[in-house]
């Protein structure tokens, strides 16, 4: 008779339901691969009907209070799929670790805000802490960084980490529709929340980026170190001009190691249509790493959803059952380095800028004068006829320039009487 590994699960929402189904349907597969019978013994959810909907066995104890489940359930691992940086999810995590329980979560917000503390607690109590599902859903990028690439110094890690934003940008490009129109459709299809701010303002991507940065560069998790921009300001005109210039717009989380530190940022950027990641569309995610021995590696898959995320959660359960695992941040707390953060203002790169200008003589000369004074060189320019506001869209790309200089120039240009609207600036990344 195989040894039984007992699982207690808090949260029977979309992902929790997927975990229940996977454990039921793949029981024989997991037994062969883990050498143990992985058995769900307890669940907790505010809605008691969920247990019936999921056809849970009478042998599975049900609790409406997850705290009670932690206290009473006989379990070898606690699974938290409730979500939220604080509140009950954080409370359950602290309680589990302090009781010496193995712990698995898909909660990127909690790790982004409290990961350093949780890493210390897990290490002190000698327990397994799994969070594969916290970044990029079904893509095993946490395992890749912690295990598969363990022999490499990582110089870059970047990617499309939010399916909602990628879907919106993809549909804008394919249909020519406006941001607001596509967002409304995404909400109806369930790809975007009623309040989409967490996704479209880059917060979700920032949580995932700071986790990847910590793993890639051996630094503490530091959400405050990131500069974060979302996609609210991207227009259908920007999408069209990007295509005309040979680019596509993607929201990326970008981590880079430099001689003097590390930069971690989230922003929409234009990438060449020839780049692999430019063709990752819809709700798909992609992560690319650059290692000194392995070189360029690309991971693509579904970044959310019931089945892909459940797959990642159960991968962690299997690791806990087989007593595999590394410290939460891959290295022991004493080995984590306080790495200097390189400000986005120090970025050296190319830029796309869309100006809305009045249709009058001397406008281009005045803009060019300010750019020249700030040492920003124009690479190309497109000028079109009047738009609905009676203004003229003026599109410029800049040669490689320091971001601080570009920002200073745009701030000065924005004050011009002939520039009635704030310029739209998008970074160009030649990935």
- What are the catalytic residues? 208
> Which residues lie below 8 Å from residue 409, measured CB to CB, with a gap of 6+?
370, 371, 373, 374, 376
Sign of torsion over alpha carbons 245, 248, 252, 256: negative
Q: What does the block give as tokens for 307? A: 């089945």
CA nearest to 318, candidates 37, 98, 9, 24: 37
Whether 104 contacts 92, CB under 8 Å: no
For every residue of 327-370, DSSP letters joined together read -TTSS-GGG---PPBPPGGG-EEEEEEEEEE-SSTTHHHHHHHH
CA nearest to 65, candidates 41, 40, 90, 48: 48
Compute the distance between CA of residue 410 and CA of residue 62 in angstroms, rounded to an integer. Answer: 59
């Amino acid at each position: 008779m195989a040894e039984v590994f007992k699982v207690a699960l808090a949260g029977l929402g979309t992902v929790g339901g997927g975990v229940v189904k996977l454990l039921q349907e793949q029981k024989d597969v997991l037994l062969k691969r883990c050498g143990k019978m992985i058995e769900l013994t307890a669940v907790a959810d505010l809605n008691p009907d969920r247990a019936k909907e999921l056809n849970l066995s009478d042998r599975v104890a049900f609790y409406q209070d997850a705290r009670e489940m932690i206290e009473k359930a006989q379990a070898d691992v606690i699974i938290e799929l409730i979500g939220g940086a604080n509140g009950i999810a954080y409370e359950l995590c602290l309680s589990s670790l302090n009781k010496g329980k193995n712990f698995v979560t898909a909660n990127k917000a909690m790790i982004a805000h409290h990961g350093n503390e949780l890493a210390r607690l897990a290490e002190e109590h000698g327990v397994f802490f799994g969070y594969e599902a916290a970044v990029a859903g079904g893509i095993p990028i946490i395992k890749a960084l912690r295990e598969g690439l363990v022999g490499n110094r990582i110089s870059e890690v970047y990617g499309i980490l939010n399916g909602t934003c990628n879907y919106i940008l993809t549909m804008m490009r394919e249909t020519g529709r406006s941001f607001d129109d596509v967002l409304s459709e995404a909400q109806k299809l369930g790809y975007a929340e009623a309040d989409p701010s967490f996704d479209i303002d880059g917060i979700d991507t920032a949580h995932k980026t700071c986790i990847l940065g910590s793993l890639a560069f051996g630094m503490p998790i530091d959400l405050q170190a990131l500069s974060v921009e979302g996609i609210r300001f991207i227009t259908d005109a920007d999408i069209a001009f990007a295509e005309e210039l040979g680019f596509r717009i993607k929201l990326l989380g970008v981590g880079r190691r430099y001689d003097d530190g590390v930069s971690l940022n989230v922003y929409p950027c234009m990438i060449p249509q020839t780049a692999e990641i430019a063709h990752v569309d819809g709700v798909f995610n992609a992560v690319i790493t650059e290692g000194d021995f392995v070189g360029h590696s690309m991971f693509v898959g579904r970044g959310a959803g019931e089945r892909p995320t459940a797959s990642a959660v159960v991968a962690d359960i299997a690791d806990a059952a087989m007593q595999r695992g590394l410290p939460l941040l891959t290295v022991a707390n004493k080995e984590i380095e306080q790495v200097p953060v390189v400000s986005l203002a120090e970025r050296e790169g190319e830029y796309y800028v869309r100006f809305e200008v009045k249709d009058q003589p001397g406008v281009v000369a005045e803009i060019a004068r300010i750019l020249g004074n700030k040492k920003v060189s124009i690479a190309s320019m497109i000028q079109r006829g009047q738009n609905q506001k009676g203004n003229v869209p003026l599109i410029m790309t800049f040669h490689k320039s320091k971001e601080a200089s570009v920002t200073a120039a745009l701030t000065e240009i924005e004050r011009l009487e002939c520039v009635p609207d704030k310029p739209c600036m998008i970074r160009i990344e030649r990935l």
